[in-house]
Structure 1
Amino acid sequence: MSPCLPISPSVRVAALVALALCAQGCTPPGKPTPKTVPDRPDALVDFNLLYATHCSGCHGADGTLGPAPPLNDPLFLRIVPDAELVKVLTEGRPGTPMAPFDQKKGGPLTAAQVKVLADGLKTKWGAPPTSAAPDVPPYTLTGTGDVENGRMAFAMACASCHGDKGQGGKTGDQSVGAINDPAYLALSSNQVLRRYVITGRPDLGMPNYAGKTGRPHNFSALTAQDVADLTALLNSWRSPATK
């Protein structure tokens, strides 16, 4: 048997230092460090990331020009109650493509993440009300609407662009889509229709309840009752009408 070679003091010191470093948290090759370990999906609380992942596909990358109603709309965010935003994100809108997002309802997000989205919409795209704006009709229906009165309101406020029966039309060189269309109405809840009457579609050039674009020179802002009547008319075009 060959004799053991002596270990020099410098080698011993180096070995002890290496062992001490490992004991203090040396990370084996290939193992992620805490800084590189990705967050769990249910731990993400960044509004921009949550919106881009779960909302932009329908509502548009910047909250406009998506197949679903725009969210980047200060007037909408002014009138919609905070609790309503949370409710819709949590439960969705039954009968429409808007699905529930809360995990307890089968969605992908925690209640905390739903709250981040709801709060973030108003923080990112909301704006304080202007004193010059006429009284804004409430977001939710108050009272009942009358279909016949809705026809008169439609003739005054909507027909010049959407056609006398909602069949669609043109404004200048721009085509305006039909409202009286089974597919469109099937995808739009009464609340969404009411919301469009109030807010318009600023991303598509549709005026809001007080806008004068494309309307008679003597047009005045739609009242809360006008909005209810117009929504009743649009709902009557469904087959069958909903409650």
Structure 2
Amino acid sequence: MADAFFNRSFLDPAVKGHFPEKLVEVLKKEGFMPSMEEGDLELIRENTIDLLGINYYQPRRVKAKEHMPHPQAPFMPNHYFDSFEMPGRKMNVYRGWEIYEKGIYDILKKVQTDYDNIECFISENGMGVEGEERFKDEEGMIHDDYRIDFISEHLKWVHQAIQEGSNVKGYHLWTFMDNWSWSNAYKKIVMDLSQLIFKKTGNERLRKADTGFNPFQRITVFNQNTCSFLEKSKYFFYVTVSG
């Protein structure tokens, strides 16, 4: 049910042109089936997408429900499952998120098998770090090897999916420079490659640790190549993967 609520509820109508039957049954049972106007389903059916963007940061793990919810509690999707924390999971301790690189491969394979291998791209992927200034050296450079590893390992799994026939066309990293996110209460959670230091006189850019790659270099990873060269680079801006 977690898949139906959090994935198929929008993937099925967007790609297949209809809602998943299991989800419709549950919503009717719980009294939460939205009202629809005549012709709505036809509009959805006739206007499916031809390119899918996929955002992936961390996995959502669930398990069977251990205790039934209170009968008077308002309905929520987690009435049908509990969250699950994988023992020994790798964590981004600076953000509190699990790191599971293979998840990006799992998603691409699911799109390949369940959604007719529709053309897609990774529209967001990246590693957020709160208080990243702690990793700044005496010269003002931030050494973010953890982010390099994060990106490299995810790209390796994207490459593996391509090798197995996935129709993924690109990878977009979130993000190139600092952004102030309202969803994080404007806390300084850094997910970028280039830091902006705000001063009264203007903006000063501070590069991340450098091993010689131009930060604006466009890196193309072809299907016949490996991603091992990425380990040598401390810069990633835009990556296009092609099969």
TM-score class normalised by the smaller sequence: under 0.3
Q: When you count strand as a share of all residues, which structure comes out higher?
A: 2
Q: When you count helix as a share of all residues, which structure comes out higher?
A: 1
**Which of 1 and 2 has greater Rg?**
1
